[in-house]
Amino acid sequence: MSEIVLANAILVLPGETLRGAVRVADGRIAAIDAGPAVPRGAVDCGGDMVMPGLIELHTDNLERHIQPRPAVDWPHASAIVAHDAELAGVGITTVFDAMRVGSIPTGKARYRAYARRLASELLDLRAHGALRISHFLHLRAEVCSETLADEMAEFGPEDRVGIVSLMDHTPGQRQFRDLSKLKTYVMAKNNFSEAEFIEHVANLRDLRARHGAAHERIAVAEARRLGAILASHDDTTPDHVAVSAANGIGLAEFPTTLEAARACRENGIAVMMGAPNLIRGASHSGNVAATELAEFDLLDIVSSDYVPGALLMAGLMLGDFWGDMARGIATVTRAPADAAHLPDRGRIEPGARGDLIRVARIDGAPVVRGNWVQGARVA
């Protein structure tokens, strides 16, 4: 369809909401008209909200599809298509698929490289028109690993790598400051004995001591080579944020303390928190709650993290919390687009991509009644 009009809707625009209609022609927003009129041939939205398609910067959902159970490697093409359809169904129109680079191929808790193969499969499906929404890559560069340099060297500027995040999961700091929580998680996941857990912690700390600083430098340099933005992960102290700022990082994923979030704001670094944290009212790791950052005006962007459907729910929840729906929805549309340097989407304004979703709220739950990517309906 070369043209579509969504009319009689509550349009979520930059800075305001109004009842009106939006027209998309040749994949771009062509006009916005105020009022409840429904032109001939238009879709009558009946007062539903129409907002920009959601933009997801960090989701582990693809990994969940390729490994639905421990030790199960699901056929990747099928997993990618299912992941893509799931995101379209919950209102996401642009996704940065998170893939880990940096592996530990030795020891009982080993995990092997997979990102290059999976990225190639995803990009091939995209080239063949098999995917509904817009996909970019988010490489999670694990500095506490053995193979980071080799894995990152396999990617090039043609691979649509939009984000490189510096990940450091060394026990005893950042996300894993509380070793008791790490112990509970790792022992259950890997069926470790007490002695094996102690050995595991010692091995990770040794890897960090031997490779961490070099891996950080490599990840920063590789992000520049790939033309990707840099993100930090689990900043906990102002010192962490100072290092991030020195590296040119513009996005902080999931800072774990109020102090780190404040330091990000002082350094002009956008703060992103997980939608599940916001919706549950607490971090599952015992870190700062997203609601607390929202109260202190320190929350800029929301990511679905591990629950795709949580992204829209979080944007609406923040709109209610702040008493400003345009501001709440901006955390899942315009703000992530700006952080990812994608000025052509995340907003309803003439000339922007025609990525739009129609949303109703039924018993408080968001329901996506339509998803259009560049004016073509995908869900």
Whether residue 54 has pLDDT greater than 60: yes
Structure letter (DSSP) for residue 40: T
Burial 230-248 (b: 16+ CB within 10 A, else e): bbbbbbbbbebbeebbebe
Taking CA atoms, 94 is separated from 162, 215, 217, 239, 340, in Å, by 12, 29, 29, 33, 11
The CA distance from 185 to 167, in Å, is 18
* Radius of gyration of the CA atoms of the chain, in A: 21
Structure tokens at 272: 């992103």
Beta bridge partners of 273: 302
Q: How confident is the model at residue 70 (pLDDT cuts 50, 70, 90)?
A: confident
Q: Which amino acid is at 146?
A: E
pTM for the model: 0.91
**pLDDT value of position 267:** 97
pLDDT at 146: 83
Residue 283 gets which letter from DSSP? Answer: -
CA atoms within 13 A of residue 312's CA, in its CB half-sphere: 28
Contact between residue 152 and residue 141 where contact means Cβ atoms under 8 Å apart: yes
pLDDT of residue 71: 80
Beta strands in the chain (DSSP E): 3-13, 16-25, 28-34, 43-44, 49-52, 54-59, 92-101, 134-142, 161-167, 229-233, 251-253, 270-274, 301-303, 356-362, 365-373, 376-377
* CA distance to 18, 315, 319, 330, per residue, from 15 (Å): 10, 14, 12, 9
For residues 135-154, give the mean pLDDT.
93
Which pair of tokens denotes residue 342? Answer: 């994608």
* Spatial separation of the C-alpha atoms in residues 59 and 138, rounded to whole Å: 9
Instruction: Please state which CATH number belongs to domain 1-52+345-379.
Output: 2.30.40.10
The candidate with the shortest Cα–Cα distance to 280, out of 292, 297, 263, 298, is: 292
Tokens representing 223? 């992000």
What are the residue boundaries of the structural domains of the chain, listed by start? 1-52+345-379, 54-344
pLDDT surpasses 90 at 296: yes
Q: Average per-residue pLDDT in the chain?
A: 91
Q: Which two tokens stand for residue 229?
A: 């933005």
CA dist 314 and 276 (Å) reads 8
The DSSP letter of residue 333 is T
- 106-120: pLDDT as tens digits: 665 566 899 999 999
For the stretch 145-183, pLDDT in tens is: 888 999 999 999 999 999 999 988 666 566 666 666 665
Mean pLDDT across 41-49: 97
pLDDT at 290 over 70: yes
For residue 33, what pLDDT band results from cuts at 50, 70 and 90? Answer: very high
What is 54-344's CATH number? 3.20.20.140
Tell me, yes or no, if the two domains 1-52+345-379 and 54-344 fold the same way: no
Dist CA 50 CA 10 (whole Å)? 6
Q: What is the DSSP letter of 308?
A: T
C-alpha to C-alpha distance for 156 and 177, rounded to whole angstroms: 35
In which band, very low, low, confident or very high, does the pLDDT at 122 lie, cut at 50, 70 and 90? Answer: very high
Which amino acid is residue 36, in one-letter code?
P
